[in-house]
Amino acid sequence: MPNLSIISHFYNQPHLVQEQIAYWETLPDAILSQVEFILIDDCSEQPLLYGPTRIDLKVFRIVTQIAWNQPGARNLGSFHARAEWALFFDIDQRFYSEPLDAILKNLAHMDPMTMYNLRSKKSRLGDQDWSDRPNSASDLCFHLNTFLVNLPAFKLHGMYDEDFSGHYGYDDTYMLNVWAKQGGKRVLYNDHEYFNEVGIGTAGLDRDLGYNLSLAENKVRAGLHNSSGVLRFAWEPVQLVTERQTPLADAHRDPNPTCRDLMRRLQGTDIYAGFVPTFAEDRQGWNSQHPAFDCIVAEVRPSVIIDVGVWKGGSTIYLAEALERHAVKGTVIAVDTFLGSLEHTDMASDLVDLIPRRHGTPLLYEQFITNVVRCGVSDRVVPLRQTSTLAAKLLQRIGVQAGLIHIDASHEYDDVLKDARAYWNILAPGGYLVGDDYHPVWPGVMQAADEFSAEVGVSLSIQTPKWIIQKPR
């Protein structure tokens, strides 16, 4: 039986869930042997898959769509918790292991009728700031939603009133008022910084407080009684995927010998074996589904396509699907550093936030293979995590030739020209080089494409925003 149930809920934000689980897995055994983790998926748009894990993790998914159902999600967590004490927290917070250890050591001395808020190191600067740097004394803060509570006492004298579900706000403060009316006390544990907060709010939802404010006022006037009825929604336990049941990764349908061979030569192993996606599908990209791709695949029927600059996989997946549509047993080699381009790395740019990150590491590769697996094209895609220039050299060295090469990596003039030259060497006669972003927004791309076309003596065909050159036979 665990001593402590750690409970959190989430709506979307799959990378935060993945980071949280990855972090929990790094906690010392002395802590992990005493705690269970309960995650409630509050009807996220895309259900997540959860891989094998060494932590005691239970996941439940609410399948009734109710906006702002924190009350229901937290109540559901309380009902499934096995420990006597629960630690409720928000998914964008991270507990430090030392103070967590201190909590576990103190549990036996805690008062069941006291709810313990915990001092936080609060930061709204982004995940790179999930650090152990101390706060200055003036930074003392805590979060109303993050507390340690004795579960039998909480269920008897507290819980969340689900009348507040469906609208934003006041569910937490009302719960505290009910708790106080029932004789519950509150204390702030101030001896450590217990956790850190990234401060990522749920986007795109109505945050109007009006409805719940008047609901709370009416309930206070009526004497602070919780309304009857909890768990007013449908929910289901989520099966964690174990190493042997990797349905999506094993969904290699017809064997594709070209793909298998390229996988062996470029990766040495099947990189999809045992991979379980925990991200939601996210095919955000640019000009990924251009009609020229389909026409070229239909005409050339390439057994190898090289996509240079793949981002989250938009163009790669579309090309793999085009192979499927035209019944070509081909493979897309997906070349990318998976670090993002200049414009995705400049913190002043709006595009920075498009990349999920963990401790400063872009998680583009994880998002990419997640998308490939979720879209069912893993039997047609071989990723090659390398700079475009070195990848071209490697592919040339091992004798790969492609019937279609799509160039969409760096958009700087000299990089585009270098990529065009390097990949021209491994383009099969009669094959097509297709570049993205022939557009005045990218003057460097236009200049490089024009110069390259003059250099090889073949005119460009522009199908905005793609620039296209066919290699003479």
Ligand X SMILES: C[S@@+](CC[C@H](N)C(=O)[O-])C[C@H]1O[C@@H](n2cnc3c(N)ncnc32)[C@H](O)[C@@H]1O
Residues that bind ligand X (CB under 6 A): 285-286, 288, 309-311, 314-315, 335-341, 364, 387-388, 408-410, 415
Q: Least distance to ligand X from the beta carbon of 300, Å?
A: 19
The token duo for 33 is 């042997």
In the complex, the smallest distance separating the C-beta of residue 384 from ligand X, rounded to whole angstroms, is 9
Alpha-carbon torsion angle 36, 42, 48, 51, nearest 10: 0
Q: Is the CB of 231 or the CB of 342 nearer to ligand X?
A: 342
Which residue do the tokens 């709010």 mark? 201
Please identify which residue in the block is written with the tokens 């298998």. Answer: 260
Closest to ligand X by CB, 19 or 336: 336
Q: How far is the CB of 368 from ligand X (least distance, A)?
A: 8
The CA distance from 325 to 297, in Å, is 9
d(CA 338, CA 342): 12
Least distance in angstroms from the C-beta of 286 to ligand X = 5
Nearer to ligand X, 32 or 352 (CB): 352
The separation between CA 104 and the C-alpha centre of its own chain, rounded to angstroms, equals 30
Please, which residue, 72 or 340, has the CB nearer to ligand X?
340
- Residue 382 C-beta: closest distance to ligand X, Å: 15
Q: Work out the angle between the directed axes of helices 171-181 and 210-221 (0-180°, nearest 10).
A: 10
In whole angstroms, the minimum distance from the beta carbon of 434 to ligand X comes to 11
CA angle 289–290–293, rounded 5-degree value:
100
Q: What's the closest the beta carbon of residue 362 comes to ligand X, in angstroms?
A: 8
- CA angle, 356 then 362 then 367, to 5°: 60
Question: In the complex, what is the shortest distance from the CB of residue 412 to ligand X, in angstroms, rounded to a whole number?
Answer: 9
Residue nearest to ligand X (CB): 285
Q: Specify the residue, 115 or 369, whose C-beta has the smaller distance to ligand X.
A: 369
> Nearer Cβ to ligand X, position 71 or 302?
302
Least distance to ligand X, CB of residue 388, Å: 4
Cβ proximity to ligand X: between 158 and 330 the closer is: 330
Reference 318, options 430, 417, 408; nearest CA is 408
Q: Phi/psi at 103 (nearest 5 deg)?
A: -60, -50
Q: Which is nearer to ligand X, 168 or 338 (CB)?
A: 338
Alpha helix stretches (DSSP H) within 111-255: 151-157, 171-181, 210-221
Q: How far apart are CA 427 and CA 433, in angstroms?
A: 7
Q: Which long-range contacts (CB under 8 A, 24 or more apart) does 464-467 make?
A: 464/438, 464/439, 465/287, 465/436, 465/437, 465/438, 465/439, 466/287, 466/290, 466/292, 466/434, 466/435, 466/436, 466/438, 467/434, 467/435, 467/438
Place of tokens 């507990």: 95
Tell me the C-alpha distance between 35 and 148, whole Å. Answer: 13
d(CA 266, CA 274) in angstroms, rounded, equals 18
CB of 118 to ligand X, least distance (A): 39
Nearer to ligand X, 215 or 434 (CB): 434
Q: Which is nearer to ligand X, 171 or 408 (CB)?
A: 408
Q: Is the peptide bond before 112 cis (omega within 30 degrees of 0)?
A: no
Min dist CB 320 to ligand X, Å, is 12
Give the nearer residue to ligand X in terms of CB position, either 315 or 453. Answer: 315
Is residue 129 within 8 Å of residue 61, measured between CB atoms? no
Q: Is the dihedral of CA 198, 16, 41, 86 positive or negative?
A: negative
